[in-house]
Amino acid sequence: MVYLIINNGNTSASFLPVGLQIAFAVGLIVLLIIVTNLLGPKRRTSDKLKSFTSGISTHGEARQPMAVKYFLTAILFVLFDVEVVFFYPYAVIFKEIGWPGFLAVLMYVGFFLSGFIYIIKKGALNWEE
């Protein structure tokens, strides 16, 4: 009880465990890097210094233009995937939220579908060109 009065959670002593854990993690990382550099092999040959390309010989320029459609599709997938994840909490508390919660989810689905319809009308998913 005396401890709670003295340390009410607003002092820097309450952050001591977090600071110790961060110090331990950083110290361990530094120690492991130093030990692996000291114990690891030091033979540097021309084959080891080449960039690894999975056994495929390099050819051509690395900076070739690429279709934006691929990136657009990937970004849209992530966007709609994240939106679908928000349905899980709704499913968990479905009985407790009642009609106001149901109407909020309907609004959410409406915004979700209006964005999807906008994307389709803009032709963002059409791959033929």
- Asked if residue 49 is part of any domain, the answer here is no
- Residues (pLDDT < 70) of the chain are 1-10, 53, 55, 58, 129
User: What local confidence, expressed as pLDDT, does residue 76 receive?
Assistant: 83
**Prediction pTM value:** 0.44
Range of the domain at 114: 68-122
Q: Which two tokens stand for residue 71?
A: 């990136």
125 CB-near residues (< 8 Å, 6+ apart)? 73, 76, 119
By CB neighbour count within 10 A (0-12 exposed, 13-18 middle, 19+ buried), where does 114 fall?
A: exposed
Q: Which long-range contacts (CB under 8 A, 24 or more apart) does 110-113 make?
A: 112/80, 112/83
User: What local confidence, expressed as pLDDT, does residue 90 receive?
Assistant: 86
* Shared-domain flag, residues 36 and 76: no
* Shared-domain flag, residues 74 and 109: yes
- Asked if residue 117 is part of any domain, the answer here is yes
- Asked if residue 100 is part of any domain, the answer here is yes
- Asked if residue 50 is part of any domain, the answer here is no
End-to-end CA distance of the chain: 73
- Asked if residue 23 is part of any domain, the answer here is yes
User: What local confidence, expressed as pLDDT, does residue 1 receive?
Assistant: 46
- Asked if residue 93 is part of any domain, the answer here is yes
Q: How many domains does the chain have?
A: 2
* Shared-domain flag, residues 27 and 73: no
